[in-house]
Structure 1
Amino acid sequence: MTTTKANAWRNPFIYLLAFTSGFSIMGIELLAGRILAPFFGSSVHIWGSIITVFMLSLSLGYLLGGKLSTKSASLARYGLIFIIASITILPIVTSSQWLMETVFLAIEDSRYGSLVAATCLFFIPTIFLGMLSPYSVRLLVTTSNESGQVAGKLYFVSTLGSALGTIITSFYFVLWFDVDTIIISFSLLLGMLGLIAVAVSKLTVTSKITASQEGVNHA
């Protein structure tokens, strides 16, 4: 892969990653209602707990992602965030049953029980998913003049992913698959894209080194 080809694919790939993260966030948020419902019901205060947890964790993720992006931002580190996010999603499947039972028995009020349960299951993975948007902007922006345009385009792509994640998960996925299968699929997808990002980053670095050496040799 030449440097030109690597650079040509880099930005569209980052937009694809941003789209996928938005898709996954909303898909998981919708499934949170399914996971909590058997123990706490599906009334408005249950969804209030879920939305509150996701909003707080995303806001913290935006803050941390923006701060992290100022320190030698790279596609490899970006991919690593995807990999970590995919790993933190898995406990939603492995721990949800006993955690719901424990919280349900410990806290009588379903409002606070659902808030605690949603925090335990979704707070950490959603923080890492939230880190992806500001980090994406940092990777895409090359000059200060284009920062607004790039940010707008990126949030358009990410929000479009969120919209499609919402409707596809609620209209189709929940009819075709069980909740655990969908969650695991989101985890595997994010992890796979993270590994690809790390691999692409290494190929890009290698191609730059090769091109530099060829330039020296020709000189």
Structure 2
Amino acid sequence: MTTAEARRPPLYHRLAVSPGAALLVLIDVFTLGFVTLGFEMVASRILTPLFGSGIYTWATIISIVVGGLMAGYFLGGIIADRFPGFGLAAVIKFLACGYLFFVYAMAQGGLERSIVGIDSEFSALFVSGFVVCFPPLVVLGMYSPLSVRLLLREPRDAGKISGGLFALSSFGNILGIIVTTFVFIPTMGTRDITYYFATFLLASGFVSLSTRAMMLARRSIA
């Protein structure tokens, strides 16, 4: 370690936002990771009564989830560079919230009616999986690059910050799968879980808006 590196302040003093705002980003990364793969398990429960729980159903769900996240990471990186802020975080949460409420409504029979005219079972499976999974996963995936953009001030910290955030998100993914599968689904059912996930995103979006307002107020005072 060089003398200059030894004199550098701790990482939490080198972030682009205040400690309180940074803590919100960390909480968001974890909770949105939880919701992301928790919802994947909910989606499987929505689709398996229609198409069974075989390998084709799971292959469709997993590929659409990964494809949605891939698109979200890419789009989120572009948009985060143009609009880096907690306002964008709130928009991401509100959009995901709105679509989960749509899935909540569709899960009460609307999904079955939407695929009645599709003759091929594989086509019906893909369309159903796409409608249920792809849009919300694209939106939720956009938060990952935004979280790095919100915290990063010095380029040399990019590895530490991005690695730590992705690890925290993955931890949320793991808990989302386990808790949703072993606790939520047996006790609440898929529609209720979808409703609560959407409600959480709505509340979290307002927290992001409040954080943005406080940061703007501090800047105006300064």
TM over 0.5: yes
Q: Which runs of 5+ in 1 are unaligned?
A: 1-5, 213-219
CA distance in 1, matches of 2:112, 2:162: 38
CA distance in 1, matches of 2:86, 2:217: 14
Tell me what 1:98 maps to: 110
Deviations 1:122-151 (A, max 9, x none): 211111001010111111111100011100
Does structure 1 residue 135 correspond to structure 2 residue 146? yes
Does structure 1 residue 122 correspond to structure 2 residue 133? yes
Question: Bigger CA drift: 16-25 or 70-79?
Answer: 70-79
Identical pairs, percent: 27
CA distance in 2, matches of 1:148, 1:195: 30
Tell me what 2:195 maps to: 184
Give the CA deviation at 1:90.
1.1
Trace 1:45-64 onto structure 2 (pairs within 5 A): 45-64=56-75
Trace 1:163-182 onto structure 2 (pairs within 5 A): 163-182=174-193
Which aligned segments of 4 or more residues in structure 1 are displaced greater than 4 angstroms? Answer: none
Does structure 1 residue 88 correspond to structure 2 residue 99? yes
Does structure 1 residue 29 correspond to structure 2 residue 37? no
SS at match of 2:84: coil
Structure 1 letter corresponding to 2:172: G
CA distance in 1, matches of 2:83, 2:197: 28
Give the TM-score of the pair, scaled to structure 1.
Answer: 0.89
Tell me what 2:23 maps to: 12
Matched positions, count? 205
1:148 aligned to 127, 140, 159, which one? 159
Tell me what 1:215 maps to: none
Give the CA deviation at 1:71.
0.6
Give the CA deviation at 1:38.
1.5
Deviations 1:156-202 (A, max 9, x none): 11000000000000010011102111001111111111110111111
CA distance in 2, matches of 1:39, 1:82: 29
